[in-house]
């Protein structure tokens, strides 16, 4: 199993919007590194849902239910989407500041490459963030 983090601005598409929708197509990615991370996602992989700009925190856990396919929002064949479904809202959101202050997460791509919208995580990083959500 692989682990990822996706970012969304909550005023555009929040965790609550995602839960109401049930299955969300993760579209609009126009960065090659983020696209490559989408292409690496496999059905059943776990994905952390991060509110960017407002909140700046991991708020929930999702999973991949459909692997990459062409992004229907563009005619450009270079871009792909995946389908995600919500699994669980974290009891306590995990703030970016808390992640930055944890020495174990200093190499995490969210910290090093903050503008990227889709990040691959190491299992250890995923586990640390999940445990913070249950503190």
Across 115-123, average pLDDT: 95
User: pLDDT per residue over 35-73, tens digit each?
Assistant: 999 999 999 999 999 999 989 999 999 999 999 999 999
CB hemisphere CA count around 90 (13 angstroms):
25
| 114 pLDDT above the threshold of 90 | no
Average pLDDT of the chain is: 96
| 107 pLDDT above the threshold of 90 | yes
115 band by pLDDT with thresholds 50, 70 and 90: confident
The model's pTM is 0.96
With a CB cutoff of 8 Å and minimum separation 6, the contacts of 135 are 92
Q: Round to whole Å and give the CA distance between 38 and 80.
A: 7
User: CATH number of the domain at 3-133, please?
Assistant: 3.10.590.10
Centroid of chain to Cα 132:
16
Residue 15 DSSP symbol: H
Domain coordinates of the chain in residue numbers?
A: 3-133
| 16 pLDDT above the threshold of 90 | yes
| 90 pLDDT above the threshold of 90 | yes
| 29 pLDDT above the threshold of 90 | yes
Across 1-24, average pLDDT: 96
């Amino acid at each position: 199993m692989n682990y990822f983090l996706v970012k969304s601005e909550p005023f555009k598409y929040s965790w609550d919007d995602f839960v109401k929708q049930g299955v969300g197509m993760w579209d609009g990615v126009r960065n090659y590194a983020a696209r490559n991370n989408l292409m690496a996602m496999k059905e059943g992989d776990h994905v952390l849902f991060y509110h960017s700009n407002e909140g700046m925190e991991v708020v929930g856990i999702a999973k991949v239910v459909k692997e990459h396919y062409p992004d229907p929002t563009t005619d450009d064949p270079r871009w792909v989407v995946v389908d995600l479904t919500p699994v669980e809202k974290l009891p306590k959101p995990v703030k970016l500041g808390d992640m930055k202050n944890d020495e174990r997460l200093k190499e995490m791509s969210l910290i090093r490459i903050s503008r990227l919208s889709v990040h691959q995580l190491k299992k250890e990083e995923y586990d640390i963030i999940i445990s913070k959500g249950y503190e």
